[in-house]
Amino acid sequence: MNRLICWILWMSTMIAGAQDDLRPALEVSYNAWRDAVINQDARAWERATAEHRRVEVKNRILSEKRAFPATVFNLPTPPPSIAGLQFLEAKQNRSTAKASYFGKIDFGVGGTPTDNLIVLSFIRGNSGWLYDRADYVNLVALPEVRKELAKSDLRYLKETPEAQPTGVVPPTPVEMRPAKIIAKVYVFCPGREVQVHVNKFSRHRFANAKEAEIVIGGARDGLNEVQFSTKKIEGGTGKEAMTIRVYLLSEVEGVKPIKIFEYQVQEGGAVLPFGTKNFTVDAATMKVLEGAG
């Protein structure tokens, strides 16, 4: 019995010590990334950002035919400071880590910030911990969770997958060239999960959604491929209407987007579990996008 008590105390000490070592390293990483964004320092941003996230951001910007790296710093608000927030926990799983904070998270948009939750994610690179992303949770509809976190009761974090490091480092995407044609994939899929791949590179997942996302790499001249898969999710009937579309966006003011691809099923209709379709960008399409059609 005494041995068991000693072992529990030893493990508790080890866990506390690991948090003591991990927390400052993660905070240094986040603050370096935040300073780079605020100071619009492209080199510092590259050094502080996880590789897969850095390439993902670059690909998205180039797919929208915007300037890189200048667009990285074109944010509506600065990243929030974690100074003064209540530290909840820092957790590591292999080469991934999370740090969670509670308090008045100020995005600089005016008004009085309320007590909410922010979870910062990190990836360990060759030079140490690198910032990946932040998940902000507005607790206005969760007053009991607010009370728990204010008391450092971490039940909510333990029950929230987004607050737990997965141990899996996302693969780094292939770096893309600037897109020739800006494209977006739109999906309306109540009661379903829909995955769409455009030209085998741009991958998208929608669940019970009505959303549009930029096509990474854009559309290309000639033949383009759209692969999709669908499945019913919990709460769905399998009879809901569904739409998958690809739009081409013009850079000429006043020219409306072109709906270049559509797979649509009316309510009660049969939905393909998976499929491969194509659309073609030809000279006539380009004339319309250029405002000459």
Question: Counting beta carbons within 10 angstroms of the beta carbon of residue 239, is it exposed (0 to 12), middle (13 to 18) or buried (19 or more)?
Answer: middle
CA distance 156 to 173: 33
Q: Quick check: helix, strand or coil at residue 203?
A: strand
Q: How many CB atoms lie within 10 A of CB 205?
A: 12
Residue 176's φ and ψ, nearest 5 degrees, are -100, 155
- The pLDDT value given to residue 146: 98
CA distance 229 to 111: 43
The partner residues of 129 in beta bridges, in order of sequence, read 124
Residue 41's φ and ψ, nearest 5 degrees, are -100, 100
pLDDT digit of tens for each residue in the chain (293 aa)? 555 444 444 444 344 445 578 999 999 999 999 999 999 999 999 999 999 999 999 999 999 999 999 999 999 999 999 999 999 999 999 999 999 999 999 988 878 899 999 999 999 999 899 999 999 999 999 999 999 999 999 999 999 999 999 999 999 999 999 999 999 999 999 999 999 999 999 999 999 999 999 999 999 999 999 999 999 999 999 999 999 999 999 999 999 999 999 999 999 999 999 999 999 999 999 999 999 86
258-265 β-sheet, strand order: 210-214, 182-188, 242-249, 258-265
Pinpoint the alpha helices (H) of 84-171. Answer: 143-150, 155-158
- The pLDDT value given to residue 19: 59
* Maximum pairwise Cα distance, the chain: 84
How is residue 73 annotated by DSSP? G
pTM: 0.88
- The pLDDT value given to residue 6: 41
Gap between the terminal Cα atoms of the chain: 84
Opening angle at CA 106, ends 100 and 110, nearest 5: 160
- The pLDDT value given to residue 101: 98
The partner residues of 21 in beta bridges, in order of sequence, read none
- The pLDDT value given to residue 49: 98
- The pLDDT value given to residue 108: 83
- The pLDDT value given to residue 3: 53
DSSP labels, 240-291 = --EEEEEEEE-SSTTPPPEEEEEEEE-TT----SEEEEEEEE-HHHHHHHTT
- The pLDDT value given to residue 34: 98
- The pLDDT value given to residue 12: 40
- The pLDDT value given to residue 16: 44
